[in-house]
Structure 1
Amino acid sequence: MTPFRSMLITLALAAQAGTVLAAETQVAVAANFTAPMQKIAEAFQAETGHRAILSFGSSGKFYAQITNGAPYDALLSADEATPEKLEQAGQAAPGSRFTYAIGKLVLWSPQPGYVDDQGRVLYVGDFRHLALPNPKLAPYGAAAVEVMTGMGVLETAQPKFVLGENLPQAFQFVVSGNAELGFLALSQLIKDGERIAGSVWEVPAERHQPIRQDAVILARGADNPATQALFDYLKGEKARAIIAEYGYDL
C-alpha cells in the first residue's frame, strides 16, 4: 500500500469516527436568551461536531411541557426556581444545575427621549400601553411587577398592561407601536454588538430579586454526550464572552 493511499484511509476512518461520536441534544431555551444561544450553538457545533437543536419559549411553558413528557435533554431557564422544581421532581440529572447568566431588566421605548434614565416616566403615566412578559410565566415579567410595586405605580400602571407570552412577544408589542414602552431584557436591545435606537432605563439590580438564569440537564439527556459537552462549553471562556456581550452578568 502506498503512503498516499494509507493516508487517505486514515483520514476516512477519522472522519467516520467523528461522525459516530457526534451527537445531537434537544435544548429548551428561555426566550430572552435567543440571540446569544444561537451564537453559542453555532460555535459549539463548529468546535465539537455536536449539534444543539434549540427551542425557544417561556420558562413556565417549558416546565409544563417537560413534566408532561416533552423530549428535551436540557433546559436553559430564565429563572432558578424552574430547574430546581424539576430537580425536586426527579426529572433532572442531580448536580447538573448551574447559573449560566444573571439577567438585566430594562424599560425601553423606540422613541428617543421618551424613557428617562430614572424610570420617572412610570410616575407621569401619560402612556396608554405598557408591555411586559406575563408575570405568571416569565421571570422578567415578575421582576417588572416587583419594580412597579416598589415604586408605588403598579395600581395605576396595571390597567395599561399589554402582556406578552414571553419576552420576544412583549418586545414586538413595543416595536409595532401597540405599546409606547415595555419592560424587557437588556439582551434584546443588543444587535451585532451595538445597542438599538431608542430610550432606556436600566433598572438597578437592587429594585428586584436577582434574575438568576439556571441551566439543568434533564433526565432524558443525562447519558447524552452532546448534552454534557454543551454544558461544559457553556462554562467555558468563549461562551461566557458571548453571554457578557449581550449584557448579562456572569
Structure 2
Amino acid sequence: MIRGPAAVIRFALTILCLLLPSLSNADLLRIAVASNFTHTLNTLLPEFENDTGHDVEISSASSGKLYAQILHGAPFDVFLSADTDKPQQLAEQFPKIESTLFTYATGRLVYWCPKECEYPLSGISTMPATLAIANPRLAPYGLAAKQTIEALKVSTPTLVTGENIGQAYRFIESGHAQAGFIALSQAVAARLPASQYWLVAEHHHAAIQQTGALTPRGLNNPAARTFIEYLRRPEIQAQITQQGYASLYD
C-alpha cells in the first residue's frame, strides 16, 4: 500500500522513469542504408520527418556489413541494401519479413577518371595503373565493377579496394587511385563534370536492383512501415531517379 504524499510522488516518478524510454523511442526510426544511397536518403528525409513527425537515424556501410550487423542484433528497423541477395538472405533467417521486401531503386555504375583518360571500350587494351572499386564480396557496386572489368577483357590493373562504394570514391578523389568505378548517384551528388565519367553499359554486369525490407525489429515499429510506403510513392521515386538511378517505371 502506498502511504503519504511523498510515497505517492516517488511511485509516480518511478512509473514515469519506466515509461520515458518507450515514449522517447515511439517515433524513432533507425535505417541501415547502403553507402551509395546515403546522399539520396538524406535529401528525402526532411520531407518524411516533416510530414510524419518521425525522427530518423541512419547508419551507412556496405550492404554486406549492414547485413552482418542486423544478423547480430543491431537495432535497425529498415534495411536498404544495394542488392537483392542480402535482404533475401535476411528473409530466409527471419521468414516474417519476406512480405516486406521491395525494390526501391535500380543503380547505375560509372567509370570515373578525374584526369585525362579514355573509357576502356574495345580497342583499348589497358586501364590506368591503379583502379578503385568497392569490395566485390561486400558491395554490389564492387561486384558490378569486377564483372565489368572481366567483360571488357582488359589488362587487369592494380586494384585499390574500398570497403564500400563511398570509400572507393574517396580513393579516386584523393588520388590514391587514378580512376575507378563508382555509382552514378555519387557523380550526380558531387556534380562531377560529364567529361570525367562514363556510364557503364548495363550488359557488362548484373543488374543492380536495390532492395529494401523491414528488419524483425521493424515489424513492430509503425514508423518503419510508413517509411517503406513513402519510398514507394511515385513522386518520391521521381526524386530518386533525378539523383542518378534508373526509373522503376520504364
Asked if structure 2 preserves the Cα contact closer than 8 Å seen for 1:39 and 1:242, the reply is no
Counterpart check, 1:229 vs 2:232: no
Q: Paired residue for 1:242, among 235, 239, 242?
A: 239
Which structure 2 residues correspond to residues 139-158 of structure 1 after superposition, within 5 A? 139-153=140-154, 156-158=155-157
2: distance between equivalents of 1:39 and 1:172?
A: 21
Q: Which residue of 39, 42, 45 maps to 1:38?
A: 42
Q: Which residue number corresponds to residue 118 of structure 2? A: 115
Quote how far apart the aligned CAs of 1:238 are. 3.0
Q: Which amino acid aligns with 1:42?
A: P
Match of 1:217 among 202, 214, 229: 214
Q: Which of 42, 49, 74 is the equivalent residue of 2:53?
A: 49
Supply the distance in 2 between the matched residues of 1:44 and 1:190 (Cα, whole angstroms).
Answer: 22
Residue deviations 1:211-235 (CA, integer Å, cap 9, x gap): 0000000110102111011001000
Check 1:224–1:123 CA distance in 2 against 1; reply closer, same or farther (3 A cut). Answer: same
Q: Judging changes above 3 Å, is the alpha-carbon distance between structure 1 residues 165 and 92 closer, same or farther for their aligned structure 2 residues?
A: farther
**Equivalent position SS for 1:54:** strand
Matched residues in 1 for 2:61 and 2:96: separation? 19
C-alpha change, 1:119 and 1:50, in structure 2 (3 Å) is farther
Distance 2:103 2:124 in 1: 31
1:16-31 equivalent positions in 2, closer than 5 A: 23-31=27-35
Residue in structure 2 matched with residue 71 of structure 1 by the alignment = 75
- Greater Cα shift, 26-35 or 144-153: 144-153
1:125-157, Cα deviation, whole Å (9 max, x unpaired): 3x221000011110111111111112222xx32
Contact preservation (8 Å) 1:104, 1:211: yes
Structure 2 partner of 1:169: 167
Between the two structures, name the one with larger relative contact order (CA 8 Å, sep ≥ 6): 1
Contact 1:75/1:217, CA 8 A, preserved across alignment: yes
Counting matched residue pairs gives 225
Q: Report the Cα offset of residue 237 of structure 1.
A: 2.5
Amino acid at match of 2:98: P
Higher CA-based Rg: 2
Distance, in Å, in 2 between the alignment partners of 1:165 and 1:224 is 30
Task: Spell out, residue by residue over 1:71-119, the C-alpha distance to the aligned partner (whole angstroms, 9 max, x if none).
Answer: 11110000000000000111662310000001001100122x4233x64
Please state whether the residue corresponding to 1:124 is helix, strand or coil.
Answer: coil
| Residue 102 of structure 1 pairs with residue 106 of structure 2 | yes
Structure 1: give runs of 5+ residues left out of the alignment.
1-18
Letter in 2 for 1:190: V
SS at match of 1:161: strand
- Provide the rounded CA distance (Å) in 1 between the counterparts of 2:77 and 2:98: 14
> Measured at CA, do residues 196 and 22 of structure 1 come closer, stay the same or move farther in structure 2, by a change above 3 Å?
farther
Indicate the SS of the match to 2:57. Answer: strand
Aligned counterpart for 1:186 among listed residues 175, 184, 187: 184
Aligned position for 2:4: none
Distance 1:93 1:149, change over 3 A: same
Q: TM-score, normalised by structure 1?
A: 0.84
SS in 2 for 1:53: strand
What letter corresponds to residue 130 of structure 2 in structure 1? H
Residue 91 to residue 65, structure 1, CA distance change in 2 (3 Å): farther
- For residues 201 and 57 of structure 1, what CA distance do their matches in structure 2 show? 25
Partner residue of 2:19? Answer: none
Contact 1:221-1:227 at 8 Å conserved across structures: yes
Specify the code of the residue in structure 1 equivalent to 2:117.
Y
Q: CA deviation at 1:22?
A: 6.8
Give structure 2 stretches of 5+ with no counterpart: 1-22
